[in-house]
Each structure stands twice: as C-alpha cells, then as structure tokens.
Copies of this chain bind each other. A is one copy, B any other.
C-alpha cells in the first residue's frame, strides 16, 4: 500500500495530468524488470498525457483513469469545480501557482438569493486558473483504506498489480475521465486500429449503495447511466462465478466512466466497469474495504487471462 499512498500524493486534476504521467512512466521503468512480460510502452505528445502498455498478444484492454477531481481558482477568491467534487466547508486544498505552494481551505458563501458560491480562504489571491486538489491524508486500519482520490488512484494501483503477471493484454492509463471524457476516444482508436482489441474492462471505483456493500467483494456493474452489451457481460459473469472470487452485482441508473465514453466513440468496443465500492464518494474521506481491493486485483488477473 506504500505505492498507493505515493500515487495519491501526486497531483493531477483533469487536464493537468503531466505530473502523474511522469511519475507512472518512471515507476514503470523502475519495476518492469520484475514483471513476467516486458510490455511495449506507448506515450508521447501524440497521446497527450496518457500511457498505453501492450503485453504479448492482447485481446482485452484494462482502462484506469489517472486524473482526479478538484477545483480551479477563478475570479476573486471563487473556485470552480473540476469534475464533481463534494464541497464541504473546511476541506483542505493544495496546489501551486507562480507565487509558490498553496495550502488553503474551502469556504461556502451564501448570497442574498440563497445561492451558494465556493471560495478559498487565503491572505492572497491565487493565479487565475490554478488547479487545486484535496490535501493527501492517507489512513489505513486493519480493514479499511481511507483517503482522497482512491477514485481512481486505486484503479491505477490495481492496473499496476495486474501488470506484474500479465502475459497478454493492454493497460491504458487514460486522462480527463472526471471532466467529461477526452482521451478514451483516441486511445481506443489506437488500440483497435493497431491490435484489433475491442474488449475493455474499466478499472475504477464505484459506490457503496443499498445493493453494494463494504467487504462483500469487488462490484461488477451490470449498468450505470450506460448499459454494457449483455453478451459480453454474461461472459464476464460466467468467468467470475467459476473463479470463486467474491463479487457483487451492481445495477445503477446514474454514473458514468471510461466505459460510457468508449460507447460514444465510433468503435465497436465492449466494456464493463469492475471495481471495489467506496463510501464518501468524491470527498477527502473516500473509504474502501481491503477485502474488496484484494478481490478486485484477483478478478482482474483472471479476466485479463480468460476473456
């Protein structure tokens, strides 16, 4: 979990993923000699801040988004959301502008019309357009991990666990997921055109709800705002059942992921969201059960082999 903690410390709101991309590239170069198969590493300006790893003869691609939600400084001391972060008075935010490191707190201001604006508390103005992130605050107990940005540093961490033993498959570190898509289109096209891969698994974190609970295993999403194709879903459910790995079935009406973005491309991708569930979504206190994390890694290893 040391790696997960480190991943969480690296900033990278949607559109500003250069730092986390560099961290990942460095990390991959350091550890890949211990991996079972050496992947081809595809990155560079033509891929913006995304990374593609190709192992052996791939049939399935795992997508893990490397961007996070956050805030951006606007006019005066106003903040504008990047993606959909929760806004609670006192949340600690960090960032950097031309005057140096920033550590500030979120404040809610209600105006006479009853509408609320989000501001920061600081004795100076932050440069316009500066991205701010939740301050890292990693907590670990016997049973749980709690921290900002388990969504989706945990999905990224899962991808790196899978990479250790992966023989055939693609791992995609995508960008812009929290703020309405952006890189999944050209990444999907690249792997479809070059490797004819059109099976995707979305390594991301979902919600604890009435039907999905802590400690009951990884969640397989049968739908959110998007609906994965039934034939593909049934193959996944069948492999999951035979595997004996604990899993839960999710059926939601809302929410989206790199999967729903893939579905909107001009590509015949099948996709399914599979991830551990978390409490306190999009807050600094996201909380995931360790058993569900272990199940997530186990199920991904099986699926990347058998699908």
A72 cross-chain contacts in B, Cβ below 8 A? 222-223, 227, 251
User: In the complex the two chains form, what is the Cα distance from A176 to B230 in whole Å?
Assistant: 12
User: In the complex the two chains form, what is the Cα distance from A264 to B131 in whole Å?
Assistant: 22
A266 cross-chain contacts in B, Cβ below 8 A? 185-186, 188-189, 265-267
* Closest residue on chain B to residue A12 by CB atoms: B230
Among A44-52, A107-115, A292-300, the stretch in contact with B? A44-52
Q: Is the beta-carbon distance between B268 and A48 smaller than 8 angstroms?
A: yes
Q: Is the beta-carbon distance between B129 and A14 smaller than 8 angstroms?
A: no
* Closest residue on chain B to residue A127 by CB atoms: B249
Which of the four size classes fits the interface of chain A?
35 or more
Among A25-33, A74-82, A143-151, the stretch in contact with B? A74-82
Check A231/B268 contact, CB under 8 A, given A222-B128, A223-B129, A251-B75: no
A263 cross-chain contacts in B, Cβ below 8 A? 176, 180-182
A251 cross-chain contacts in B, Cβ below 8 A? 72-75, 80, 128-129
Q: Does A179 contact B (CB under 8 A)?
A: yes
A73 to chain B, nearest CB (A): 7
Check A230/B74 contact, CB under 8 A, given A182-B263, A185-B267: no
A210 to chain B, nearest CB (A): 5
Q: Does A228 contact B (CB under 8 A)?
A: yes
Near B by CB (< 8 A), chain A positions 170-216 give 176, 179-183, 185-186, 188-189, 198, 209-211
Q: Is the beta-carbon distance between A76 and B210 smaller than 8 angstroms?
A: yes
Check A46/B228 contact, CB under 8 A, given A128-B211, A253-B81: no
Q: Does A36 contact B (CB under 8 A)?
A: no
Q: Can you list 10 A-B pairs, Cβ within 8 angstroms, ordered by A? A: A18-B231, A75-B209, A76-B210, A128-B222, A128-B251, A181-B263, A182-B263, A183-B268, A188-B266, A266-B267
